[in-house]
A and B are shown apart, each in its own frame.
Chain A
Amino acid sequence: MEEQAKDYSHINGWGIDADPKNDPTYPMKRRTNEEHKGYSWERPPQQPITMEVLHSIERPNVSAVYGTAMPPSGLSGMIRRFAFKHSENSYLHWLPLLVADRVNVVEGLIEDVAEGKVPNIFSEKGYSADWDHNRSGLAVRAAIGAAVVGAVVLMCAGEKNRKRWFNQLMDR
């Protein structure tokens, strides 16, 4: 490794935000004990609760505003309600939520079909991006098993690339 020059004039703005007094820095720094005496602030007005909003049992209420993206419904909704009986400290909260997410995917497919839509998986997965920029990757995917290809390429790859291939193989 070559020694880096100790002159930083080529770096626009070097050191302009250096501040030796900035310690213990964010996120500790602005701690004001006054404001930590419990639920003491004046709460914003409550967004009217017009739909089912699940809330963590680690808090007493629904937050003043909440998101309305997808209220719980169907079988996945039942699983989510079960999950929210358990605290965020429990696997019985997070694991059922992951299961509900997978069930929800099937519900989504059923819903599409019920609405007369056949989901275009090829386009939803964005494979046309592969068509434009990774045609060989797409072909490989469609044709032969990745392992066979990997082995062949490994054999053909020069010494220099072999470590990379090995590392890649170890990771995927």
Chain B
Amino acid sequence: MLAMNYRGPKRVRIDQKPIPEILHPEDAIVRVVRSCICGSDLHLYNGNVPDTRVGSTFGHEFVGIVEEIGSDVHKLKVGDKVIVPFNISCGRCAFCKQELYGNCHESNSQATAVGAIFGYSHTAGGYNGGQAEYVRVPYADVGPTIIPEGMDWDDAVLLTDVVPTGYQAAEMAGIQKGDTVVIFGAGPIGIMAARCSWLFGAGRVIIIDKEDYRLEFARNYSQCEAYNFMDMEDPVVFVKKTTDWMGADVCIDAVGAEAAGNVLQTITGRKLLLQAGSATALHWAINSVKKGGIVSIVGVYGPTDNLVPIGNVVNKGITIRANQASVKRLLPRLIDHVQNGIIKPKQLITHRVPLEEVADAYRMFSEKLDNCIKPVLIPPSAHE
């Protein structure tokens, strides 16, 4: 089969690899119909996630058709069309029972600091991902969810990560009716977080990024205010000013380790890897939120340390909430929202690229070429 093959920082290609096999009675093999490239993949692509082994296939956002099932799979059958959550979860450990499906204890041996994620380095379990024609999907009765009648592949593939993550960012923010929400990052996740903040009753939603085309998109899609931090002396002062000098009730970090905007953070976090990525957006979020406010982090950082003003968290009495999205937990509600037209995921897709051109797609998404927001990869075997 064709599969993306990681060769080193900023080098990927398409290669032939063997079709995966059932290795556990609860496995399924899924034939991929759509897969995406995510901001999270950029941390791998840039070589910033420890234990990213050459030869691995990335891709944690994919949907497809069940091709084969293990002897102990009962809820799925061959031919079913499925949304596969990006997290791999057993459904029965203490954490899964708590609905922390992103923090399962029975799917990743290699680290206790993160759950298992498809195609996301050996630190996240060493699974091959969905930027390929076929994927092995463990615990097939737990995560995969049948795509409801009438929902198309493009909407479905964004339910594997983008929609739940954006929604959970707003949920964790504990938004009260009328709150001012400031979101750092107008990538797919930030745009979705801005849209979902309204569902929780936000009174004002502001998104901050440096890419004008993304800000313009957010203004329309998320119906929010959008500002470019490249035009600001200091984004924190900007937020203070626009909130009557109080600070935002809630700040959301939807940027993570590839943040721009501060030369010290960029050099130590992204170039020298002396910290687990550049923490500029988180820094700004902590300093922009009001006293007693909430900072919700969905931006991804590596497993070591970051330079953030933790003293201010203490002294301002800030609550920080964060996690990998618990996709399975949120899917029923979010499928409803999509079916009722409240969330329109596929409008985020700007590029449909043949899987064979995966290297160009990474480059385009990473360098923000051609006004790219969300690229979807389509394998040659996907005839739909």
The yes or no answer to B24 lying at the interface (CB within 8 A) is yes
Q: Is B112 within 8 A of A67, CB to CB?
A: no
> What A residues does B174 contact at CB under 8 A?
22-25
Q: Which has the most chain A C-beta neighbours within 10 Å: B51, B200, B225?
A: B51
Question: Chain B nearest CB: distance from A167 CB in Å?
Answer: 5
What 1/0 mask marks residues of chain B from 29 to 51 whose CB sits below 8 Å from any chain A CB? 00000000000000000010011
The yes or no answer to B87 lying at the interface (CB within 8 A) is no
The yes or no answer to B370 lying at the interface (CB within 8 A) is yes
Q: Is B112 within 8 A of A17, CB to CB?
A: no
Question: Chain B nearest CB: distance from A57 CB in Å?
Answer: 10
Question: Chain B nearest CB: distance from A91 CB in Å?
Answer: 7
What 1/0 mask marks residues of chain A from 1 to 43 whose CB sits below 8 Å from any chain B CB? 1001010101111111110101111111011100110001111
* Contacting residue for B99 out of A30, A42, A133, CB 8 A: A30
Q: Which has the most chain A C-beta neighbours within 10 Å: B88, B93, B123?
A: B93
Chain B residue at minimal CB-CB distance from A14: B198
Chain A residue at minimal CB-CB distance from B26: A44
> What A residues does B361 contact at CB under 8 A?
126, 129
Assembly CA distance A36 to B56 (angstroms):
35
Q: Assuming the A-B contacts A62-B109, A63-B106, A129-B363, are A25 and B172 also in contact, with contact meaning beta carbons closer than 8 angstroms in the complex?
A: yes
Q: Is A16 within 8 A of B112, CB to CB?
A: no
Chain A residue at minimal CB-CB distance from B27: A65
The yes or no answer to A85 lying at the interface (CB within 8 A) is no
Q: Is B266 within 8 A of A17, CB to CB?
A: no
> What B residues does A98 contact at CB under 8 A?
50, 273
Assembly CA distance A35 to B359 (angstroms):
45
The yes or no answer to B292 lying at the interface (CB within 8 A) is no
Binds A, one of B125-133, B154-162, B183-191, B310-318: B125-133
> What B residues does A63 contact at CB under 8 A?
105-109, 116, 125
Q: Which has the most chain A C-beta neighbours within 10 Å: B54, B100, B107, B123?
A: B54
The yes or no answer to B268 lying at the interface (CB within 8 A) is no
The yes or no answer to B346 lying at the interface (CB within 8 A) is no
Summed over the interface, the residue pairs from A and B with CB atoms below 8 Å come to a total of 259
Question: Chain B nearest CB: distance from A166 CB in Å?
Answer: 9
> What B residues does A58 contact at CB under 8 A?
112
The yes or no answer to B7 lying at the interface (CB within 8 A) is yes
In this complex, the interface size class of chain A, counting residues with CB under 8 Å from chain B, is: 35 or more
Q: Is B263 within 8 A of A104, CB to CB?
A: no
The yes or no answer to B203 lying at the interface (CB within 8 A) is yes
Question: Chain B nearest CB: distance from A120 CB in Å?
Answer: 8
Q: Which has the most chain A C-beta neighbours within 10 Å: B11, B12, B53?
A: B53
The yes or no answer to A82 lying at the interface (CB within 8 A) is no
Q: Is A124 within 8 A of B341, CB to CB?
A: no
> What A residues does B122 contact at CB under 8 A?
54, 67, 69-70
Q: Is B198 within 8 A of A8, CB to CB?
A: yes
> What A residues does B299 contact at CB under 8 A?
none
Q: Which residues between 362 and 384 of chain B lie within 8 Å of chain A, taking CB atoms?
A: 362-364, 367, 369-370
Q: Assuming the A-B contacts A44-B106, A94-B304, A105-B9, are A17 and B199 also in contact, with contact meaning beta carbons closer than 8 angstroms in the complex?
A: yes
Q: Is B139 within 8 A of A65, CB to CB?
A: yes
Q: Is A126 within 8 A of B94, CB to CB?
A: no
Q: Is A129 within 8 A of B360, CB to CB?
A: yes
Q: Assuming the A-B contacts A25-B174, A45-B25, are A1 and B242 also in contact, with contact meaning beta carbons closer than 8 angstroms in the complex?
A: yes
Q: Is B242 within 8 A of A25, CB to CB?
A: no
Assembly CA distance A4 to B347 (angstroms):
25
Chain A residue at minimal CB-CB distance from B333: A17
Chain B residue at minimal CB-CB distance from A23: B174
Q: Is B56 within 8 A of A125, CB to CB?
A: no
Q: Assuming the A-B contacts A45-B24, A69-B127, A108-B55, are A11 and B198 also in contact, with contact meaning beta carbons closer than 8 angstroms in the complex?
A: yes
Additional A-B contacts beyond A17-B333, A53-B109 (13; CB < 8 A): A14-B201, A26-B321, A27-B326, A35-B97, A47-B138, A54-B110, A68-B23, A69-B126, A83-B51, A97-B50, A101-B47, A104-B8, A137-B367
23 contacts between A and B (CB under 8 A): A13-B340, A17-B333, A22-B174, A26-B172, A31-B98, A32-B97, A41-B97, A44-B26, A62-B109, A63-B107, A63-B116, A63-B125, A65-B88, A94-B304, A97-B123, A108-B7, A124-B359, A125-B359, A126-B363, A127-B363, A130-B367, A134-B369, A172-B266
